Chain A
């Protein structure tokens, strides 16, 4: 049973370019979460999605960031017009969405470097 998949593992972008980060949840999981981790810091929640719905985006920056989880295919975190401060590790987690005691399983992350 494959775990949470994220790609790419490493992404280098120049300032002003777009970054697209992909996350495939574990099989049977319908809930996806995105977190950002700066060096020497803990993970910070960004957005929580179910299929075709954004449930909680309270951690998303108001501009340039967007996320989706379509009916088919992976969840996408999109960062437009990247700036150096966007450099971080971005982690996706998934959970089954079936009960109160949900465990979030994390992917290996995408390390974004903005030059």
Chain B
């Protein structure tokens, strides 16, 4: 089945630092999404990307849809303590109403 390789698996950073994470796939996706999950909660959508090459920002978050449609990255700038959590990438092959394929997640710890 389809798999997403997400890296790194975890990061420990100081408050104020920037952090980058990425996802790669062996197959093409037409939609890339980035979610954040807090302990005991469900994933919350951060950014959605619909076109190859698209670069989208949401506050301190910036994400890009790779030109090959097989990868995406997420940057968080000037991290704050509430950024801690697990970040997941997810892809859809067709877009629209279709199952999401998730990466394994990147656990972020921010030291104040």
Contacts and interface: CB of A to CB of B under 8 A. Distances in A.
B99 A45 contact: yes
B59 interface: no
A21 to B, nearest CB: 13
Nearest to B104: A42
A33 B45 contact: no
Contacts of B99: 33, 45, 48, 56, 58-59
A55 B96 CA distance: 13
A7 B44 CA distance: 18
Interface residues of A, number: 31
Contact of A42 (B41, B96, B105): B105
Interface residues of B, number: 25
A101 interface: yes
Contacts of A43: 43, 88, 90, 100, 102
Contact of B102 (A42, A101, A102): A42
Given A42-B105, A43-B88, A91-B43, A101 B95 contact: yes
Contacts of A48: 97-99
Interface string B65-97: 000000000000000000000001010000111
Interface string A1-25: 0001010000000000000000000
B45 A103 contact: yes
Interface in A73-115: 91, 93, 95, 97, 99-109
B21 interface: no
14 contacts: A4-B42, A33-B100, A41-B105, A42-B88, A42-B103, A42-B104, A42-B105, A43-B43, A91-B43, A101-B50, A101-B96, A102-B97, A106-B42, A108-B42
Interface of A: 4, 6, 31, 33, 35, 40-45, 48, 55-56, 58-59, 91, 93, 95, 97, 99-109
5 shortest interchain CB distances as A-B pairs: A106-B42, A42-B102, A45-B99, A100-B96, A43-B102
